[in-house]
Structure 1
């Protein structure tokens, strides 16, 4: 089964899988809460709508207000002080 839109294309638009999941989850929650507040029923699942918004470029990391430090997470490669001390 082929997924549409392709995962690789979505990751290219956002930068990383972590950001993609975070962005889509936040937007899906936002869509769901708005529909609940307004008493609307949704024709599509909020997650599908959010994914389509990323794919079409309507939804970006900057448009959702993701903090800059979350945009490019860097792995912690330096040992902590407690780990390097000998007891």
Structure 2
């Protein structure tokens, strides 16, 4: 089982746990549907773990959208 510190993920990607969950779940779904992995991971590693590793290695980031005035 891979352990990735929550603090490490929040510092590198999103400013909110909720945004991090959405980002990781959307990326895990993409991986499960066949999108290529952006980090080295074996075939037996779950898509959710791969998605979190990608966030930790800054391969995937939250997109900050400015609100319209």
- The two structures have a TM-score, normalised by structure 1, of 0.57
Which 4+ runs in 1 deviate beyond 4 A? none
Structure with bigger gyration radius:
1
Q: After alignment, is 23-32 or 7-16 more displaced? A: 7-16
CA RMSD of aligned residues (A): 2.0
Q: Which sections of structure 2, spanning at least 5 residues, go unmatched?
A: 36-42
Equivalent residues in 2 for 1:27-42, closer than 5 Å:
27-34=27-34, 42=43
Deviation track 1:58-86 (CA, whole Å, cap 9, x = no partner) reads: 01113xxxx726xxxxxxxxxxxxxxxxx
Match of 2:57?
56
Match of 1:9?
8
The answer to which structure has the higher helix fraction is 1
Higher relative contact order (CA 8 A, sep 6+): 2
Q: Which sections of structure 1, spanning at least 5 residues, go unmatched?
A: 36-41, 70-87
Aligned with 1:21: secondary structure? helix
Aligned length: 57
Match of 1:78?
none
Match of 1:24?
24
